[in-house]
Structure 1
């Protein structure tokens, strides 16, 4: 009897140690995945100098007349920050631009430059916890989708009820864009969406990165990190699904993805495209890298975007 008791105590102790270790690992990877702080797996941004293909766009953005806009988040009462740049000629047409993971509004200068040259107003918000917006976690687009609805209303208040709006985003911003598309009661002034290299859902993307970067299986670690995130921030990684949101969308959507994307794998775009219920178009851009389609094929990118917006915002 004593021997059995000792065995049970030993097994219980081992279980506690294993569970404690897994929870500790979960907290560590929660910080890696969700807490806004420098990430070792992201490449550092290099200074943009004369002669760089991005220099004209960067120089324009640095000197553009930017209005500072503020909004309160839909939850958590966080102060959010954005730049608004009016078009050269007065227009009611505005593109709202969503940035990527660990990025900010200022890093979207190349897209802002493109849309500005196409004749649109542009609004560039910082998502929660990033850039100049308040917050201590990265929402991966899920809580941000409701914040973007508030930004949409702010554009309408500023430019009038006859506004025409498109939401655009890359990477996490692409997922944000798709998540916005499925929000119930979205203002009719939102005419179209353009998503570039967004993921199907946060769980799948985090599980993919856990395997690619750390050679870790999705179970149980990603489940633990998702559970911690649910407790801390109110949503699980499976809740945060762009795939479920596009199933509710009936407005035009342009899907863009690089042909050889190994950060948000190219294969993710196909179920998203198939699930969407509205008028839709898919562009697979030749070339390597993540969120580099505009640099890999700038003319193809610009012409496709222009033609799509001309069709649905005119």
Structure 2
């Protein structure tokens, strides 16, 4: 009986220690910077040859390296700038996905380049060539994109017309950016498969990938993140930011997306107050909408931008 009592007293400590170790493992897996892009999922391996042809195309272009905070190594941010073949002040900023970088968006860069736009491809914090120890899932990145926007205005011209475009985490990044006070040069937004908020996204993937419940793991990861990055994961919400948006936005989402559920598209679409459209791509999984039919994707995107590039809420 004494042994049983001693065991019952020590078990909570053992469980707590195991939980703490798991939380630290989860945080490292999800938030630590990435220096090499992970392999794509098995279902997208069929696009590998096309993907690398786009990357090679980008490498062959006369690009420029842009920097923010150049004299601060721990905060330095890097982007690739590709000017249009014909001079223009119309520019698209492309936000990459989770554990990607600007180069992984080469297919979209080529699409917009063919449409006649300047293209800026930032590497987010803790991705690619940019500094940063931890991934912020778009939350702090949105503030960096405000600086990239200003750099475009300063470099390309005050008559710039800017489109924000992002896929997956990049989609959520431009959705969250939409809630900030944006200069009049920003005209419209295109968000492909962005999540509604990181709390729900993490809870969903925790169950799907690791078969673990939301509690106690997500609150514990949140606590660890507040210690390391200084913000609450509940703040990382596309829905809350979209409530302040007045710009036109096109939402794109694959009907078979099992990584960011379609319900998140519905929540994001309902939240925004500006002109809005949604395009559900039949048979597309997560971030696959472009690859299923690049021509149709290009047509949808071009049509949306052409209708709204001259738009600004103050003039409407």
Q: Provide TM-score, normalisation by structure 2.
A: 0.90
1:66 corresponding residue in structure 2: 63
Q: In the aligned structure 2, how far is the partner of 1:26 from the partner of 1:201? A: 20
Residue 106 (1) aligns with residue 103 (2): yes
Q: In the aligned structure 2, how far is the partner of 1:12 from the partner of 1:42? A: 46
Q: In the aligned structure 1, how far is the partner of 2:56 from the partner of 2:301? A: 22
Aligned counterparts, 1:145-164, within 5 A: 145-164=142-161
1:43 corresponding residue in structure 2: 41
Counterpart contact for 1:168–1:195, Cα < 8 Å: yes
User: How far has the Cα of 1:32 moved from its partner?
Assistant: 1.1
User: How far has the Cα of 1:98 moved from its partner?
Assistant: 0.3
Give the unaligned 5+ runs of structure 2.
311-316
User: How far has the Cα of 1:59 moved from its partner?
Assistant: 3.5
Aligned counterparts, 1:187-198, within 5 A: 187-198=183-194
2:297 corresponding residue in structure 1: 301
Aligned counterparts, 1:227-246, within 5 A: 227-246=223-242
User: How far has the Cα of 1:305 moved from its partner?
Assistant: 0.4
Q: In the aligned structure 2, how far is the partner of 1:76 from the partner of 1:237? A: 26
1:117 corresponding residue in structure 2: 114
Residue 137 (1) aligns with residue 134 (2): yes
Q: In the aligned structure 1, how far is the partner of 2:11 from the partner of 2:54? A: 58
Cα RMSD (Å)? 2.4
Counterpart contact for 1:285–1:297, Cα < 8 Å: no
1:210 corresponding residue in structure 2: 206
Q: In the aligned structure 1, how far is the partner of 2:226 from the partner of 2:237? A: 14
Greater shift, 14-23 or 194-203, is seen at 14-23
Give the unaligned 5+ runs of structure 1.
none
Greater shift, 91-100 or 258-267, is seen at 258-267
Instruction: Evaluate the alpha carbon distance shift between residue 122 and residue 40 of structure 1 in structure 2; reply closer, same or farther with a 3 A threshold.
Output: closer
